Amino acid sequence: MDYRNSGVDIEAGYASVELMKQYVKRTLRPEVMGGIGGFSGAFSLAGIKNMEDPVLLSGTDGVGTKLKIAFLLDRHDTIGIDCVAMCVNDVACAGGEPLFFLDYIACGKNIPEKIATIVSGVAEGCVQAGCALVGGETAEHPGLMPEDEYDLAGFSVGACDRKDLITGEDLKPGDVLIGMASSGVHSNGFSLVRNIFEMSKENLTRFYPELGATLGEVLLAPTRIYVKALKSAKEAGVRIHACSHITGGGFYENVPRMLKDGVRAEIRKDSYEVPAIFRLMAEKGEVSEHVMYNTFNMGVGMVVAVDPADVEKTLEAFRAAGEKSFVIGECKAGEKGVDLC
């Protein structure tokens, strides 16, 4: 008896590492020390010495049950982007620049080509965020997970000068709320999504005229990464007063997280067009409007609050970074919370 007979193929693990090296190489930054395969990833902090008071920021997350869609469609090349996005967007939301990323893949059976494909998506997410993929772990779990399934999670570490932290303390009544468009459902709410739609390959590959694509294509659309847009605004001289990454819990949970006591957010639902996938889910699943806005991003993946004088500058900075954005509301004096009207 040996380890392979017990369900763990060490040779497959070695093969996976070799196959993924080409993707990892795309993410390298000058600060990266050494390559993958060591016991730890090394990253020089010499670049932050010029900061007056450097602060490290971190974010960790996974993809969740969106993975079930990838399993059914046997498509694994973009799910890694979602994993990176969920982490680096949180770091950027606090004013940080993501520096490096590590991933963790747990699988029922290590199929090297499949693992490398997953990592190719992680690497693409890192390229979009401008951070380095400095390491990770692929764990084979025979008997714990079905052979054709896996879980994917990761974490990012970033940095910023203390004076550039986005804490919400600068927020005031009269500040304008700007939303950056999402690419769709992103990576939250898929337990509800999977109850609304029949989860079969036949249905996922069906073309929906109202969506202009197959259901699977729309649901698997990778989460937008807003790192470069927020950096663009900073470089344009915009001081973002508060920022919220609209993830699980939608508007009702995440917008209040960016507010300080005595400030209330008012968001106009008709200030932008809600994407067709959300309208379809609400209709097909008979989901109330409140539940929709309390579960999904509804077409807005990130919300920032800025001074009225900086609105046009902010919109232009986001546009220059390739992000569609729109004014969605404003801050008012009142009890901390959010009103959707």
> pTM of the prediction?
0.96
Residue with the two structure tokens 């990176």:
84
Residue with the two structure tokens 């004013």:
95
Query: What is the largest distance, in Å, between two alpha-carbon atoms of the chain?
Result: 71
pLDDT attached to residue 131: 97
Query: How far apart, in whole angstroms, are the C-alpha atoms of residue 9 and residue 233?
Result: 48
pLDDT attached to residue 17: 83
Q: Which of 10-14, 78-82, 211-215, 217-221 has the lowest mean pLDDT?
A: 10-14
Band (pLDDT 50/70/90 cuts) for residue 209 is: very high
Residue with the two structure tokens 């010495």:
49
DSSP three-state, residue 61: strand
Tell me the residue type at 95.
G
pLDDT attached to residue 109: 93
pLDDT attached to residue 154: 98
Structural domains of the chain sorted by starting position, each given as residue range(s) with its CATH number in brackets: 10-164 (3.30.1330.10), 176-340 (3.90.650.10)
In the structure encoding, which two tokens stand for residue 146, read together? 């079905």
Which tens digits make up the pLDDT trace of 141-182? 998 999 999 999 999 999 999 999 999 999 999 999 999 999
Count other C-beta atoms under 10 Å from residue 11's C-beta: 11
Count other C-beta atoms under 10 Å from residue 195's C-beta: 11
In the structure encoding, which two tokens stand for residue 156, read together? 């990012």
Tell me the residue type at 106.
A
By C-alpha distance, which of 314, 310, 184, 177 is closest to 254?
177
- Over 80: is that where the pLDDT of 22 sits? yes
In the structure encoding, which two tokens stand for residue 217, read together? 């294509």
Query: How far apart, in whole angstroms, are the C-alpha atoms of residue 166 and residue 18?
Result: 40
∠ at Cα 138 (134, 142), nearest 5°? 175
Average pLDDT of the residues in 269-289: 97
In the structure encoding, which two tokens stand for residue 243, read together? 């920022």
pLDDT attached to residue 177: 98
Query: How far apart, in whole angstroms, are the C-alpha atoms of residue 266 and residue 331?
Result: 6
Which tens digits make up the pLDDT trace of 1-13? 666 766 676 777 7
In the structure encoding, which two tokens stand for residue 147, read together? 């052979």
Query: How far apart, in whole angstroms, are the C-alpha atoms of residue 133 and residue 23?
Result: 9
In the structure encoding, which two tokens stand for residue 49, read together? 């010495």
Query: How far apart, in whole angstroms, are the C-alpha atoms of residue 136 and residue 77?
Result: 17
Alpha carbon distance, N-terminus to C-terminus of the chain: 66
What mean pLDDT, rounded, does the chain reach? 95
Query: How far apart, in whole angstroms, are the C-alpha atoms of residue 336 and residue 264?
Result: 5
Band (pLDDT 50/70/90 cuts) for residue 260 is: very high
Question: DSSP string of 243-281?
Answer: EEE--TTHHHHHGGGG--TTEEEEE-GGGSPPPHHHHHH
Average pLDDT of the residues in 190-205: 96
